[in-house]
């Protein structure tokens, strides 16, 4: 009975070390009593391991069941699903095998401890167990010192990684088990040979793991670079829209000069009814086709003018209030990207509504307690798409395309660069974004 209690305590220690490693390396899901549930899961894992011990299951079955399958299920429950989950599960499994190898082979090979005594003498077993737990604790602490970086693998690379991991774990378990059997009666030559093979396989696996890790990091860098290129393309489109808006204003200025000449001619000829009709038609044309803002900032005026025109063509009602301070803490490029993406997201959401009467956008931009407040609210159908990191995705693009949610990501990046506050308030029928930027 005491042996089972000791084994249960050892299993709890091993599972608890994995809990610490997982919380230090993986992205934890946010829900109530997360740590309490994780501690309960540690007890469940330890109980499962003890059950396998009672059933006298082979070491390979125990390693594959507890260290790989159950630990991986634990990460899927309490952490966001990523390839790094499996990576750290496998790494911990290898570390556990390395600790077991050190605790069982080191005393026999280098300290010339009697192998039969390790299996029967309780004092020797206790020393071996302490060495095993101490080695596992030290190696786990070393793993926690390594930086956690996001990396991605293709489907084929994931399959190869899993197969290599399982194969190496099986071989390592066979070798460790063979070592113990050999030292109970087989020649020491075979033991030395198996020790060398075990060491080489361990080195091989570590090398492959490091290679795959760096391969994944490089792929993540390439994805980030693609995202930056897409962001640059989006900002270029916003800039082109501003240029188009400025050109339209120039045409309007030229047209007004011609209209004024015509109106002057009518007045000189005392054609007052025709002049009145001309003014009425001109006013209607300008109101239907042009929006002219005069906030005092040409960049803001150009962006909002262009977006108001887009809203007009999409049959979206817009209420706006713009009062700008003397100095805005954003560059023209940042202003263009920020306001452009805010309106693009709002317009996209409104276009999802089938009834044009429901389409509306409220926008305000004004100083507030030594900060620049930007608030935009739009009607929505309430169907939001959220990724595994709780980021809002576009409802217009195809899933898994790299431009997913880049607009909001770019907005938040600009706000963070200026130590601002970014808040999203989604409801069933409205979507509101609130931004506060410190004024210099």
CA atoms within 13 A on the CB side of 247: 6
From-to residues of CATH 3.30.565.10 in the chain: 291-438
Is the confidence at residue 410, as pLDDT, over 50?
Answer: yes
Q: Which has more pLDDT, 158 or 375?
A: 375
DSSP-based three-state secondary structure for 71: helix
> Across all residues in the chain, what is the average pLDDT?
76
CATH architecture of the domain with residue range 291-438 = 2-Layer Sandwich (3.30)
What is the average pLDDT across 232-244? 65
At residue 183, the pLDDT reads 55
Q: Which has more pLDDT, 376 or 62?
A: 376
When pLDDT is cut at 50, 70 and 90, the band that residue 109 belongs to is low
User: Would you say 279 and 263 are in contact if contact means Cβ atoms under 8 Å apart?
Assistant: yes
When pLDDT is cut at 50, 70 and 90, the band that residue 422 belongs to is very high
Cα–Cα distance measured from residue 386 to residue 388, given in angstroms and rounded to the nearest whole number: 7
What is the average pLDDT across 386-391? 61
pLDDT digits 0-9 by tens, 242-278: 666 666 666 666 677 777 778 778 788 888 888 888 8
At residue 401, the pLDDT reads 44
DSSP letters for 301-363: HHHHHHHHHHHHHTT-EEEEEE---SS-SS-HHHHHHHHHHHHHHHHHHHHT-S-GGG-EEEE
What angle separates helix 83-109 from helix 71-78, to the nearest 10 degrees?
150
Exposure string over 218-255, b if 16+ CB within 10 A, otherwise e: ebeeeeeeebeebbeebbeebbebbeebeebbeeeeee
pLDDT digits 0-9 by tens, 22-36: 888 888 887 777 888
Residue 23 neighbours by CB distance under 10 Å: 15
pLDDT digits 0-9 by tens, 57-93: 666 666 666 667 888 888 888 888 777 777 788 888 8
- Look at 35-44, 201-210, 365-374 and tell me which has the smallest mean pLDDT: 201-210
What is the average pLDDT across 173-184? 61
Q: Which has more pLDDT, 2 or 312?
A: 312
What is the average pLDDT across 426-436? 90
Is the confidence at residue 186, as pLDDT, over 70?
Answer: no
At residue 75, the pLDDT reads 86
Tokens of 414: 């600009």
* pTM score of the predicted model: 0.45
Q: Which of 95, 83, 84, 81 is nearest to 17 (CA)?
A: 95
């Amino acid at each position: 009975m005491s042996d089972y209690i000791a084994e249960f305590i050892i299993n709890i220690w091993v599972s608890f070390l994995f809990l610490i490693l997982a919380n230090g390396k993986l992205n934890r899901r946010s829900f109530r009593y997360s740590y309490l549930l994780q501690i309960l899961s540690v007890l469940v894992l330890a109980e499962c391991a003890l059950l396998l011990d009672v059933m006298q299951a082979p070491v390979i079955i125990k390693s594959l069941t507890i260290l790989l399958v159950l630990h991986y299920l634990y990460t899927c429950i309490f952490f966001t699903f990523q390839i790094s989950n499996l990576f750290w599960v496998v790494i911990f499994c290898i570390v556990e095998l390395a600790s077991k190898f050190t605790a069982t082979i080191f005393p026999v090979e280098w300290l010339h401890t009697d192998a039969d005594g390790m299996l029967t003498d309780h004092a020797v077993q206790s020393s071996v167990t302490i060495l095993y737990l101490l080695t596992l604790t030290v190696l786990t602490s070393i793993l926690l010192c390594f930086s956690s970086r996001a990396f991605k693998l293709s489907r084929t690379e994931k399959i190869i990684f899993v197969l290599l991991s399982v194969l190496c774990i099986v071989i390592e378990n066979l070798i460790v088990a063979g070592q113990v059997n050999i030292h109970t009666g087989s020649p020491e030559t075979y033991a030395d040979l198996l020790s060398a093979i075990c060491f080489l396989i361990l080195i091989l696996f570590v090398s492959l793991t490091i290679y795959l890790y760096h391969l994944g990091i490089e792929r993540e860098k390439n994805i980030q670079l693609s995202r930056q290129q897409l962001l640059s393309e989006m900002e270029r489109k916003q800039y082109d829209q501003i240029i188009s808006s400025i050109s339209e204003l120039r045409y309007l200025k030229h047209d007004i000069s011609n209209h004024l000449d015509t109106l002057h001619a009518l007045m000189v000829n005392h054609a007052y009814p025709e002049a009145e009709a001309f003014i009425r038609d001109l006013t209607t044309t300008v109101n239907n086709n042009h929006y002219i803002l005069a906030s005092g900032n040409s960049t803001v005026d150009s962006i909002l003018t262009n977006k108001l025109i887009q809203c007009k063509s999409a049959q979206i009602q817009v209420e706006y209030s713009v009062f700008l301070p003397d100095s805005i803490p954003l560059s023209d490029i940042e202003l263009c990207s920020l306001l452009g993406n805010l309106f693009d997201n709002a317009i996209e959401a409104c276009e999802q509504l089938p009834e044009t009467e429901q389409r509306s956008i409220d926008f305000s931009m004004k100083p507030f307690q030594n900060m620049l407040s930007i608030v935009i609210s739009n009607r929505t159908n309430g169907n939001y798409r959220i990724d595994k990191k709780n980021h809002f995705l576009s409802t217009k693009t195809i899933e898994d395309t790299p431009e997913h949610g880049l607009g909001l990501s770019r907005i938040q990046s600009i706000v963070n660069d200026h130590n601002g506050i970014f808040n999203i308030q989604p409801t069933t029928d409205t979507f509101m974004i609130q931004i506060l930027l410190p004024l210099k």
